[in-house]
Structure formats: C-alpha cells, structure tokens
C-alpha cells in the first residue's frame, strides 16, 4: 500500500524576547533568530547543548545596531546558521551596563576597538574568547561576512582550537586582575593642573572640543578644564571649555528646531550629528550650560538650556512622570530623516520671504550641506543673537509644528534610575542658576516616581536599575545609587528640605553595604545580583562619569551638609584605593580627578539667619556663583551648626543675616553684601587655601 507522508509543519523559531520590557529587545522579538534574554536559563541552555554563546549587545537608539539587525538578524538564512551553531543572547546595554562593561573590556583586551553593536563569542559558562562589533552580511572592505565569522568561531570552538583556550585565559587574567601598586601614588593639585594643561593642548582651537573627528561633548574633560581655571585663574582653560560649548551649541549636533543635543558629531566641526539623543548627554550638558551662563551671562547658553529643557518636557517625559532613555537616530529607515530640511520644505512651511530669511540664518542650501539635504546649524552665522532672534524663534516654532507631523524616531521609554538621577540633578542646579523655579516640579516628580516605584526594602534603601511596563530590573547598579543620591542632594540645595539629605544618606549607606570593594571603591553590581563571570569595578569614565567619581563627590558633600566627618573619611579611602589604579591613564579618569578636586577645594557657603529677604538674597547669590561644587548650608543661627564646624564661633558672634565662605578648616568673616560673595569665594577656595 502506497503511503503519502505529509511533511511536518515547520515550527516557529522560539524567539524569547516578546515578553521583554526593553524596547531594544522588543525591536528583535520578530527576528527568526532563537534569541534568549540574558539570564540563568540561557546559560543553562548553552551548557546543556554544548554550543558556544553568541552575545549581541546594543541599544535602541544605535544606528549600526539597526543596520546589522536588518542585514543579518532579519535574514532567514543568516538566522538559521546562528540557531544551528550558537545559543544566541541579546542584551540592552542600557538595561544591563554591567554585562556590557565586562564584555566590552574583553573585546578591548583582544586589541579591538570597542563599539556597538558588540558581538562576542562566549563559552557556555560565559567566558569570552573572541569578538567584534558590526559584521556585514556580505564580505566587503576587508570585513568578513557574518556567516563566515559564525562558522569559523563555531568550528574553532568545536575542534578545541588551542587559541580559544589561550584567548580565554589571557582575557580573564587581564579583566579580573587588580592593580597592586608597588608604592603610594600621589595625585594632588599640581597633578590636576598638569592634566588640565595637557588636555588644553589637545583641544581644537578652531572648532572647539577635542581635536579631530568624531567629536563627542566629553563633559568630564570640559569640567576638568573649568576646575583648572578655578584653581589657577588661567582664563585659557575656561575659554577652551566655553569655546566647545559654544561651538556644539551652534553646530548641527544641536537640534535648532526642537532643542536637545545629539550624541556626537561625525565630523571635526560639529556639523553632522549621529542623530540619536541620549538623556545622559543632555543632563550633563544642561549643567555646564547653566554654569557657563553664570560666568558669562551669554544669552546663547541660557537659550540652549531653556530649549533643551523644553525638548525634555515635550518629548521625554514618561506617563509615570520620569524621563525616557533616548530617541533613535533613524525614522522611516533613514538616519536623521526626521531632522533634516530642504529649501522646498521651507518654502512649503514658511513661504518664500520667511524661507529665504530662515535658510540664510540656518545654512539651508539648494544642494544641502549633507547628502543632498540640510542640517540646520549656525556655524556660519555672524551673530548668534540680535534683532532677528524674535523673528527666527517664531519661524522655528512653525517648523517644529511641521516636523511633528513627520514619522518620529523611536523612543526608548524605559526609565533608568542613573540617567534620571543625572537629569534630576541638572534640572535642580539649572533652576537655581537660571531663575527657573518651575523646572523643580518635573525634577521632583521624577524623583518621587523612582523612590516610590523603583525601590525595595522597608525604607526604600535598595534601588532598581530599569523600569518599563510595570517591570523593574532589580537590584540596581552602583551608578543608580551614586546618581540618585546626587539628585537628592541637588534637590536639597534647591528646596532646603532635609528629607532629601536623609534619602541620600540611606542610598549611600546601601551603596557601601552592597557594592563596596576592597579598593575603597564600588563594584558596579550588587553582592546579591545574579551571577556573572565577575563583578565589574571599572574606574574609568564611559559615556557618563564613572559611578565611583559621582559617589566620591556625594561623600564630600554629605560631610559638609551633615557635619559627620565619617563621610569624608570614606571619600579619602576611595581616593587612596582608586588613584593608584587611575594614575597610568589619568585622561580616562577625568571624572575621578574632578571628584578629587571637590575633595581638595570644596567650598561651603553658610547662610545664617531666619528666613527673610536678606537671607534669601544671600542664598540666591550663592547658588548663582559660577563655581563648581559650592555647597550652600542654610541655618537659623550658629547654635544649629555642628560643634566642630569652622564657622560656628563666628556665626555665634554675628547679629543679623550673614554668609560665611568656608574652604577646608578656614572660614571668612561674615559677608552681607551679595556682590562680595564671589570675591570671597575666590580668595578662600583657590590653590593657596586648599594646599
């Protein structure tokens, strides 16, 4: 009897990303790749099958991540090779920066330049043995085809190629090693000045920022230059920081229509951005813009700060009241399409006369300034602000309304505690410097959401890292504690409410209890986090200031605000342990050097007197001083100062409202004239007083 066999129904690939909270993972939920999210189940699947792991790390706003996804991960043939040879794990680097840090370090130990997408090959136990970044689908420009890489790595692993074992051993030895300095390393004011001078030497005198391309904002470097100016009075250091801020604020990296800064410029003069917008960049730049305005009163810096906050509140606030992580570079499959213009676009939106006027001011040309279209910029404009600015503002609003009808770039709406902390602190600081008290409300709202919905424990002492769609990734990272404690201290400065000091104290104690390491610093991951091959404890800056540096500044500020010197002792232990590790690569540790400057020169302004117009004027003037890390302490009388505070005796002997400027163990005579505050601060907080 003839039997006809029906071919089996092909089962769908069990892609496991559909239930993820991360927008980046959800971008890959329909790939024909058998993706796993990172977790014990994925590692167990690799161990059980004996197959190596293909780890792919990226983020939602990453352009080249989208390119590789479209070329390879959406391709049935490529996915079939991946599924046959590997256990495939997809990670959102913003959701799991601890995993990203481990394997990015591993790639760099292999001698490769890092970047995203990060593509790593691991043993089933998670140990890396080879990797790269973006691989094209087809071989070109000397890059191998992705499927060729897949087969080569699988074959080498299966054949027990000795190079695999040697790579694993070398990588793990390097990324696990703890530096053991033979002698004590001293980094003090002279060394800080030397680093500032060296950075000045690599700044671009024509275009601003660091020389060459691509150009990143690199806010820790700009802050380091500014601090050098505060210590030495060398105006060239300050001017280099101001030049960089000015150039990027006039260039195409800044969104002149909608506000906010893109991640970096691909050229050497700030014209062509990589169009993604990250919350952390705009937070760090907002603080510097407010500081720059305090120093110069240049209306450009105020305008860019206000426009950036306008973008933040219009496009980045989540339904819960916190701030989303990023906006994509791409829309409709093209990088930057949402942001660029043609003369035809302007004519349709504004009419001929206004279109010509706007095009002349914003470099919108017949043939475009980038790939046939134009990126609005003011790099060639002779005057930034003048009689035409009101008219230009009206036209920008019209163009924004037109642009909002376009297909927008994707928004990664997960709430990251650390990036929110940076923005909350920036809003609080800028609200004081720029007289924008209304900015406090969104900062407080975001802070409240994180304290109520992203914490665990009886007192909310344990932070989570990422929240989306009702799900919290827990436990948090050291970056979350450092940034959110900093936010709490900034809100205390802005509001005077002591509850924020209590919250900062709680989080800094939890940071020490669950993240402290033997070097005096902090592991990125908590002691009760799920097992990784090691606990990352990098001290260098990444796209944001390293959490150890943020934590150190918190410790110094807590010592000033609470009168408890144990916080300062904890800061000194951190510097003793981490500066020897940082010494060989000080340029990579600008954040830590800035924190050390805080420790050596931190100024404290004590406002004494009952709440009145006089004390409010003194406090208002103190907050507007163009000085980094000046802590303002408001007390009713000298009795409320800690017994050992250097201003206590002078405050007890003073009648009426007054301010005392303190640096180290020295405090000024009482100051009642707001105009004298800056002069007094400069005299006490400079090099001689701190040395």
Handedness of CA 514, 517, 520, 523 (dihedral sign): negative
Q: Can you give the pLDDT at residue 179?
A: 33
* Count of CA atoms in the C-beta half-sphere (13 A) of 370: 22
Orientation of helix 478-495 relative to helix 499-515, angle to 10°:
160
CB atoms within 10 A of CB 239: 15
What is the DSSP secondary-structure string of 130-177? EEES---SS-BTTBPPHHHHHHHHHHHHHTT-HHHHHHHHHHHHHHH-
- Contact (CB, 8 A) for 608 and 638: yes
The pTM is what? 0.87
Q: Can you give the pLDDT at residue 105?
A: 87
Q: Hey, what long-range contacts does 311-318 have (CB within 8 A, 24 or more apart)?
A: 311/255, 311/258, 311/259, 311/260, 311/277, 311/282, 312/259, 312/260, 312/282, 312/423, 312/442, 313/442, 314/258, 315/258, 315/260, 315/411, 316/279, 316/411, 317/442, 318/413, 318/415
How far apart are the C-alpha atoms of 459 and 456, rounded to whole Å? 8
Q: What is the mean pLDDT of each run of 10 residues along the chain (691 residues)?
A: 38 78 94 94 91 94 88 94 95 93 86 84 89 84 80 83 64 44 66 94 96 96 96 95 98 98 96 96 98 96 98 98 96 93 97 96 95 95 67 96 96 97 98 97 98 95 96 96 98 95 98 95 94 88 94 95 90 94 92 95 88 89 88 86 78 86 80 84 53 30
What tokens does 516 get? Answer: 């402290």
What is the DSSP secondary-structure string of 638-684? GGGS-TT-TTHHHHHT--SSEEEEEETTEEPSPB--TTHHHHHHHHH
Of 116, 15, 107, 16, the closest CA to residue 59 belongs to 116
What is the DSSP secondary-structure string of 584-614? GGGGGGHHHHHHHHHHHH-EEEEEESSSSHH
What tokens does 672 get? Answer: 């009642």
Convert the pLDDT of each residue in 72-103 to its tens digit: 999 999 999 999 999 999 999 999 999 999 89
Task: Give strand pairing partners of 278.
Answer: 326
Task: Give the helix ranges, DSSP H, for 297-334.
Answer: 299-315
Q: How far is CA 317 from the centre of its chain?
A: 17
Of 256, 222, 447, the closest CA to residue 363 belongs to 256
Give the dihedral of Cα atoms 302, 304, 310, 312; nearest 10 deg.
Answer: -120
Q: Can you give the pLDDT at residue 140?
A: 66
Bond before 540 cis per omega within 30 degrees: no
- Go through the domains of the chain in sequence order and give each one's CATH number: 23-176 (3.40.30.10), 189-330+412-601 (1.50.10.10), 339-405 (no CATH), 603-690 (3.40.30)
> To which residue do tokens 């074959």 refer?
155
Q: Can you give the pLDDT at residue 141?
A: 59
- Contact (CB, 8 A) for 22 and 91: no
Helix (H) or strand (E) holding 616: helix 613-623
Mean pLDDT (the chain, rounded): 89
Edge-to-edge strand order for the sheet containing 666-667?
Answer: 631-635, 603-608, 658-663, 666-667
- Contact (CB, 8 A) for 532 and 557: no
Helix (H, G, I), strand (E, B) or coil at 523: coil
> To which residue do tokens 């080249």 refer?
64
> Which whole-number Å values give the CA distances from 680 to 443, 508, 669, in the listed order?
31, 32, 9
The secondary structure of residue 583, as a DSSP letter, is G
Q: Hey, what long-range contacts does 143-152 have (CB within 8 A, 24 or more apart)?
A: 146/68, 146/71, 146/72, 146/78, 147/77, 147/78, 147/81, 150/54, 150/81, 150/82, 150/85, 150/86, 151/81, 151/85
Q: Can you give the pLDDT at residue 687?
A: 42
Of 541, 250, 225, the closest CA to residue 381 belongs to 250
How far apart are the C-alpha atoms of 585 and 663, rounded to whole Å? 29
Task: Give strand pairing partners of 540.
Answer: none
Q: Can you give the pLDDT at residue 11?
A: 43
Q: Can you give the pLDDT at residue 175?
A: 45
CA end-to-end span of the chain, whole Å? 100
Helix (H, G, I), strand (E, B) or coil at 195: helix
- Contact (CB, 8 A) for 101 and 120: no
């Amino acid at each position: 009897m003839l039997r006809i066999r029906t071919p089996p129904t092909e089962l769908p690939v069990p892609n496991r990303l559909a239930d993820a909270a991360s927008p980046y993972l959800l971008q890959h939920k329909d790939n024909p790749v058998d993706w796993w999210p990172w977790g014990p189940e994925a590692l167990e699947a690799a161990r059980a099958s004996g197959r190596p792991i293909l780890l792919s790390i990226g983020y939602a706003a990453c352009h080249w991540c989208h390119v590789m996804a479209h070329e390879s991960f959406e391709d049935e043939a490529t996915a079939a090779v991946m599924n046959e040879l590997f256990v495939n794990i997809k990670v959102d680097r913003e959701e799991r920066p601890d995993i990203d840090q481990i394997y990015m370090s591993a790639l760099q130990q292999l001698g490769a330049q890092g970047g995203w997408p990060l593509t790593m090959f691991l043993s089933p136990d998670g140990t890396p043995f080879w990797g790269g970044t973006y691989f094209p689908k087809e071989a070109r420009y000397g890059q191998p085809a992705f499927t060729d890489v897949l087969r080569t790595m699988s074959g080498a692993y299966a054949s027990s190629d000795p190079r695999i074992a040697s790579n694993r051993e070398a990588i793990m030895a390097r990324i696990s090693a703890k530096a053991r300095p033979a002698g004590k390393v001293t980094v003090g004011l002279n060394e800080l000045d030397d680093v500032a001078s060296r950075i000045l030497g690599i700044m671009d005198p024509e275009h601003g920022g660091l020389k060459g391309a691509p150009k990143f904002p690199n806010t820790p470097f700009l802050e380091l230059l500014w601090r050098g100016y505060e210590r030495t009075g060398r105006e060239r250091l300050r001017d280099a920081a101001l030049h960089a801020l000015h150039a990027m604020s006039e260039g195409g990296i800044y969104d002149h229509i909608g506000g906010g800064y893109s991640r970096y410029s691909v050229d050497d003069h700030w014209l062509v951005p990589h169009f993604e917008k990250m919350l952390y960049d705009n937070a760090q730049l907002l603080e510097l813009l407010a500081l720059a305005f305090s120093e110069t009163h240049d209306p450009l810096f105020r305008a860019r700060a206000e426009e950036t906050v306008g973008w933040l509140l219009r496009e980045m606030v989540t339904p819960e009241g916190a701030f989303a992580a990023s906006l994509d570079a791409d829309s409709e499959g093209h990088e930057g399409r949402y942001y660029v213009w043609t003369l035809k676009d302007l004519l349709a939106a504004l009419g001929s006369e206004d279109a010509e006027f706007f095009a002349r001011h914003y470099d919108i040309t017949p043939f475009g300034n980038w790939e046939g279209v134009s990126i609005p910029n003011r790099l060639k404009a002779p005057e930034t602000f003048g009689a035409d600015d009101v008219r230009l503002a009206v036209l920008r609003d019209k163009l924004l309304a037109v642009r909002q009808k376009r297909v927008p770039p994707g928004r990664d709406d997960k709430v990251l505690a650390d990036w929110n902390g940076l923005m909350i602190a920036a809003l609080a600081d800028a609200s004081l410097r720029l007289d924008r008290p209304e900015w406090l409300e969104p900062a407080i709202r975001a802070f409240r959401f994180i304290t109520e919905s992203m914490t665990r424990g009886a007192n909310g002492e344990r932070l989570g890292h990422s929240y989306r769609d009702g799900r919290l990734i827990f436990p948090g990272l050291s970056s979350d504690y450092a940034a959110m404690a900093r936010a709490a201290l900034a809100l205390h400065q802005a509001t005077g409410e002591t509850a924020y000091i209590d919250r900062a104290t709680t989080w800094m104690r939890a940071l020490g209890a669950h993240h402290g390491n033997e070097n005096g610093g902090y592991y990125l991951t908590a002691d009760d986090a799920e097992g990784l091959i090691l606990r990352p404890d990098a001290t260098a800056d990444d796209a944001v200031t390293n959490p150890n540096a943020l934590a150190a500044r918190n410790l110094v500020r807590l010592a000033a605000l609470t009168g408890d010197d144990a916080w300062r002792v904890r800061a000194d232990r951190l510097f003793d342990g981490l500066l020897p590790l940082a010494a060989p690569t000080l340029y990579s540790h600008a954040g830590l050097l800035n924190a050390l400057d805080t420790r050596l020169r931190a100024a404290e302004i004590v406002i004494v007197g009952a709440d009145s117009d006089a004390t409010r004027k003194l406090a208002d003037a103190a907050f507007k001083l163009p000085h980094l890390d000046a802590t303002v302490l408001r007390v009713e009388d000298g009795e409320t100062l800690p017994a050992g505070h250097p201003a206590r005796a002078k405050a007890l002997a003073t009648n009426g409202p007054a301010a005392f400027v303190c640096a180290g163990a020295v405090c000024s005579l009482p100051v009642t004239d707001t105009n004298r505050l800056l002069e007094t601060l400069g005299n006490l907080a400079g090099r001689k007083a701190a040395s």
